[in-house]
């Protein structure tokens, strides 16, 4: 239907384009900067009026106040992870700064916990100000439940974030307590870098959790650091690993005004519940691999050993071949002019908008039951294929929301293959900072569509959650209503878009959702905490935190069938189909992948080497070993007999002398 409409209206929009001020979110947000220092110094100013809409209907859901804080700044930073759900304990935990009507210092951290799907809450876990002037800020929080434990008091709350004394950022905190509030373990090392605060997400499992920070060169972010936080049996709590992983690329550099931009933004990391397998990624562009280096796409790293080693994947050259994507985004203007009545000839240049001027959302992710990453992000089509025009967009193209995921197969470039599922069209514009009425008079705070993504406890269902305004109320997202859409990737079924609060003129701002949804019988319950900016109109004022009760998805809602993309056209060759390490040797992706009875890899050696191949499962257990002995320099094919392996995900590690490369393969 979309392509038919485009044919009919091509004359109406081919000239309706705009040159965005670059494709990324306001450029100063990519630069090195302190984070809301004014909130910690207690600055304020005249309050601008914020009028609550009068067309608010009766609420469709119940919400309960579960806590307060001295201001909003600890909650509104999207990459923080502040709501966690633990399916084994049926527990939900919300981590927030204290203060406000419910008391406590705004430098304290409180963990509100529920064991009955959010109906009742306790306040047993409190982390008070340390040493008189070490104030907690910007918290992440997660529940660690030891293997086999069914007693909540024996589980742990782990929190992390930065500490300030009011004059600067002095320490990081990696603190833990039992869920009954006992056995505090306090760890406050110095930050890795000035203003580079380890507060991007918190994920993992099995006593191993991970957070991220960004390093800058004084102006632009140049790499990410991933740190592991380990459960310490002796301390009966958590301690941070002093060693970190550094992730960087040969970033595209391009002059813009008086700046030279390094193209990376919207960093995030997500780890599996085994505590070893995980991903890190950003939206960005590399200097290599023209022409996809001039458009923002996901750039991904993957680890299977807790960050000791990482596989770096190059930008995919196949996005424009995916029918699930091209059925939605707009094609290039020239192809519309050349072939106005022949959609099969249209060309596409997808642009991943997460964090751009179009939509101020970051792009969160989860890992599904097959170990594949799912990223919730927005994508639009570029106006032109020309390198000088890739940052021109159609002025009236809608912003499309997608679940973007790896399939477990490989593409024509030997890189992990991707696909997408269309989630919804975002119907309103973001609230830009400059236009926001949520302000103390000098520092207005805008908001996007509050993207969140979660999985069912068995990780077969992926749930996208966001908030958008009914366009009959406003064209800007001033009255966000809570929405969700769920995808079952085992049965390939989906729900339609679910609006939990239709027609309300909603007040659901800065929603934060856990990585997991919980189960109530066969139903899924989405744990979500939000604030109502209309309650105070001022981010420096005390805030109330609301838990949205009974956001329920039932099995009967899965009425739609989803399919994998049909591949149309050829991938753009990036000239990459091997993973190299220090130029000593390279290892190809196994072929075929997925494999049934046999698969093959190619190893290219630059010197004579003793070569071995070890196959492990998702638990890290060794299931096969192939010792090839001493091989001469050059290219060698190694056959792997997979007939005795059960279906699932495996990893093969090729070692040549003292160097190793690990890659993933799928057995059907």
Tens of pLDDT, residue by residue over 224-256, are 999 999 999 889 999 999 889 999 888 877 655
Residue with more model confidence, 88 or 218: 88
The predicted structure's pLDDT at residue 627: 95
Burial class of 84 by CB neighbour count within 10 A (0 to 12, 13 to 18, 19+)? buried
Task: Compute the distance between CA of residue 421 and CA of residue 443 in angstroms, rounded to an integer.
Answer: 37
Maximum Cα–Cα distance across the chain = 78
Q: What's the token pair of residue 486?
A: 């769920």
Task: Compute the distance between CA of residue 349 and CA of residue 340 in angstroms, rounded to an integer.
Answer: 17
| In the block, residue with structure tokens 């701002």 | 509
The predicted structure's pLDDT at residue 26: 32
The predicted structure's pLDDT at residue 7: 42
Q: Which of 25, 563, 569, 565 is nearest to 348 (CA)?
A: 569
Average pLDDT rounded to a whole number, residues 386-410: 81
Beta-carbon contacts of 363 under 8 Å, excluding residues fewer than 6 positions away, are 266, 268, 283, 298, 352, 354, 355, 375, 376, 377, 451
Helix, strand, or coil here: 30?
A: helix
DSSP 466: E
Would you state the torsion angle of the CA atoms of residues 551, 553, 557, 562, taken in this order, to the nearest 10 degrees?
Answer: 110
Task: Compute the distance between CA of residue 357 and CA of residue 285 in angstroms, rounded to an integer.
Answer: 17
- Confirm if 650 and 638 have CB atoms less than 8 A apart: no
The predicted structure's pLDDT at residue 359: 42
Q: Which of 94, 280, 86 is nearest to 201 (CA)?
A: 280
DSSP 52: P
> Per-residue DSSP letters for 63-126?
EEEEEEES-STTT--TT---EEEETTTTEEEEEEE--GGG-S-TT-EEEEEESSTTSS-EEEEE
The predicted structure's pLDDT at residue 56: 43
| In the block, residue with structure tokens 């959302």 | 361
pLDDT band at 153 (very low <50, low <70, confident <90, very high): very high
Task: Compute the distance between CA of residue 589 and CA of residue 116 in angstroms, rounded to an integer.
Answer: 46
Q: Which of 529, 515, 516, 526 is nearest to 553 (CA)?
A: 526
The predicted structure's pLDDT at residue 25: 30
pLDDT band at 116 (very low <50, low <70, confident <90, very high): very high
Q: What's the token pair of residue 302?
A: 């993957």
pLDDT band at 187 (very low <50, low <70, confident <90, very high): very high
Residue with more model confidence, 562 or 348: 562
Average pLDDT rounded to a whole number, residues 45-54: 39
Task: Compute the distance between CA of residue 127 and CA of residue 216 in angstroms, rounded to an integer.
Answer: 31
- Structural domains of the chain, ranges and CATH numbers in brackets: 578-667 (2.60.40.2550)
Task: Compute the distance between CA of residue 5 and CA of residue 264 in angstroms, rounded to an integer.
Answer: 35
For 491, other C-beta atoms within 10 Å of its C-beta total 12
pLDDT in tens, 611-652: 999 998 876 788 999 999 999 988 899 999 999 999 888 888
Task: Compute the distance between CA of residue 361 and CA of residue 78 in angstroms, rounded to an integer.
Answer: 8
pLDDT band at 571 (very low <50, low <70, confident <90, very high): confident
The predicted structure's pLDDT at residue 641: 94
The predicted structure's pLDDT at residue 229: 96
The predicted structure's pLDDT at residue 437: 86
Q: What's the token pair of residue 561?
A: 């069938």
Task: Compute the distance between CA of residue 334 and CA of residue 339 in angstroms, rounded to an integer.
Answer: 8
The kind and range of the H/E element at 268 are strand 264-271
Query: What percent of the chain lies above the pLDDT cut of 70?
Result: 84
The predicted structure's pLDDT at residue 191: 84
The predicted structure's pLDDT at residue 515: 97
Q: What's the token pair of residue 182?
A: 């006992």
Q: 264-271 and 259-262: which strand pairing?
A: unpaired
- What phi and psi, each to the nearest 5 degrees, are found at residue 145? -115, 110
Task: Compute the distance between CA of residue 306 and CA of residue 227 in angstroms, rounded to an integer.
Answer: 10
Q: What is the mean pLDDT of the chain?
A: 83
The predicted structure's pLDDT at residue 358: 36
Beta-carbon contacts of 294 under 8 Å, excluding residues fewer than 6 positions away, are 252, 285, 387, 390
pLDDT band at 137 (very low <50, low <70, confident <90, very high): very high
| In the block, residue with structure tokens 């809570």 | 482
For 426, other C-beta atoms within 10 Å of its C-beta total 25
Task: Compute the distance between CA of residue 276 and CA of residue 52 in angstroms, rounded to an integer.
Answer: 47
Residue with more model confidence, 345 or 554: 554
Q: What's the token pair of residue 529?
A: 């905490």
pLDDT band at 114 (very low <50, low <70, confident <90, very high): very high
Average pLDDT rounded to a whole number, residues 508-532: 95
pLDDT in tens, 596-614: 899 999 888 888 999 999 9
The kind and range of the H/E element at 6 are helix 2-13
Q: Which of 648, 639, 654 is nearest to 667 (CA)?
A: 648
Q: Which of 507, 503, 439, 522 is nearest to 477 (CA)?
A: 507
User: How far is C-alpha 104 from the geometric centre of its chain's CA atoms?
Assistant: 32
The predicted structure's pLDDT at residue 387: 59
The predicted structure's pLDDT at residue 53: 46
The predicted structure's pLDDT at residue 258: 56
Number of DSSP helices (H) and strands (E) in the chain, helices first: 4, 46
């Amino acid at each position: 239907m979309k392509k038919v409409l485009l044919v009919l209206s091509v004359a109406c929009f081919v000239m309706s384009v705009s040159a965005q001020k670059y494709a990324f979110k306001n450029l100063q947000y990519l630069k090195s900067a302190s984070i809301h220092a004014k909130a910690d110094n207690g600055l304020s100013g005249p309050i601008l009026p914020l009028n609550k809409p009068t067309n608010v209907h009766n609420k469709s859901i119940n919400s309960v106040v579960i806590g307060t804080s001295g201001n909003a700044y600890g909650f509104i930073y999207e990459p923080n992870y502040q709501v966690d759900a633990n399916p084994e304990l049926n527990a939900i935990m919300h981590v927030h700064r204290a203060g406000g009507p419910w008391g406590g210092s705004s430098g304290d951290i409180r963990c509100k916990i529920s064991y009955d799907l959010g109906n009742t809450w306790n306040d047993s876990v409190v982390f008070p100000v340390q040493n008189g002037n070490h104030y907690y800020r910007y918290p992440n929080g997660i529940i660690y439940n030891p293997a086999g434990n069914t007693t909540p008091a024996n589980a742990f709350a782990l929190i992390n974030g930065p500490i300030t004394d009011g004059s600067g950022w002095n320490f990081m905190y990696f603190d833990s307590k039992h869920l009954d509030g006992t056995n505090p373990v306090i760890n406050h090392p110095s930050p890795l870098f000035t203003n580079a605060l380890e507060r991007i997400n918190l994920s993992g499992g099995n006593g191993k959790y991970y957070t991220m920070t960004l390093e800058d060169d004084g102006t632009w972010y140049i790499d990410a650091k991933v740190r592991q936080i380990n459960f310490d049996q002796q301390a009966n709590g958590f301690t941070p690993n002093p060693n970190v992983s550094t992730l960087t690329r040969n970033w595209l550099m391009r002059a813009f005004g008086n700046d030279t931009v390094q193209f990376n933004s919207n960093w995030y990391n997500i780890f599996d519940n085994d505590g070893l397998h995980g991903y890190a990624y950003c939206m960005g562009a590399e200097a290599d691999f023209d022409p996809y280096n001039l458009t923002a796409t996901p750039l991904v790293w993957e680890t299977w050993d807790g960050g000791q080693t990482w596989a770096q994947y190059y930008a995919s050259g196949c996005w424009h071949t995916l029918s699930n994507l091209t059925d939605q985004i707009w094609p290039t203007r020239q192809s519309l002019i050349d072939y106005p009545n022949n959609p099969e000839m249209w060309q596409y240049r997808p642009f991943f908008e997460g964090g751009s001027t179009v939509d101020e959302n970051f792009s969160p992710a989860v890992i599904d039951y097959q170990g594949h990453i799912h990223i919730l992000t927005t994508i639009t089509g570029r106006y032109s294929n020309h390198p000088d025009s890739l940052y021109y967009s159609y002025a009236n193209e809608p912003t499309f929301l997608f679940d973007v995921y790896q399939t477990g197969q490989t593409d024509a470039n030997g890189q992990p293959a991707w696909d997408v599922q269309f989630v919804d069209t975002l119907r309103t514009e973001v609230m830009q900072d400059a236009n926001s009425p949520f302000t103390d008079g000098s520092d207005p705070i805008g908001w996007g569509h509050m993207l969140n993504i979660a999985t069912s406890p068995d990780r077969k269902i992926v749930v996208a959650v966001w908030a958008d305004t009914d366009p009959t109320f406003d064209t800007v997202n001033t009255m966000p209503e809570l929405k969700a859409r769920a995808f079952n990737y085992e049965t390939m079924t989906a729900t339609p878009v679910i609006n939990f609060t239709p027609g309300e003129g909603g007040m659901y701002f800065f929603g934060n959702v856990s990585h997991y949804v919980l189960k109530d019988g066969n139903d899924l319950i989405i744990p979500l905490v939000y604030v109502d900016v209309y309650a105070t109109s001022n981010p420096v004022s005390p805030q109330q935190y609301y838990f949205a009760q009974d956001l329920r998805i039932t099995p009967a809602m899965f009425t739609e069938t989803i399919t994998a993309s049909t591949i149309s056209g050829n991938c753009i060759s990036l000239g990459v189909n091997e993973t190299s390490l220090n130029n000593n040797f390279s290892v190809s992706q196994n072929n075929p992948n997925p494999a049934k009875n046999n698969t093959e890899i190619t190893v290219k050696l630059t010197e004579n080497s003793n070569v071995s191949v070890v196959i492990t499962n998702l638990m890290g257990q060794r299931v096969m070993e192939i010792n090839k002995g001493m091989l001469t320099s050059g290219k060698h094919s190694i056959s792997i007999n997979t007939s005795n392996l059960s279906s699932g995900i495996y990893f093969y590690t090729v070692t040549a002398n003292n160097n190793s490369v690990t890659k993933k393969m799928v057995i059907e």
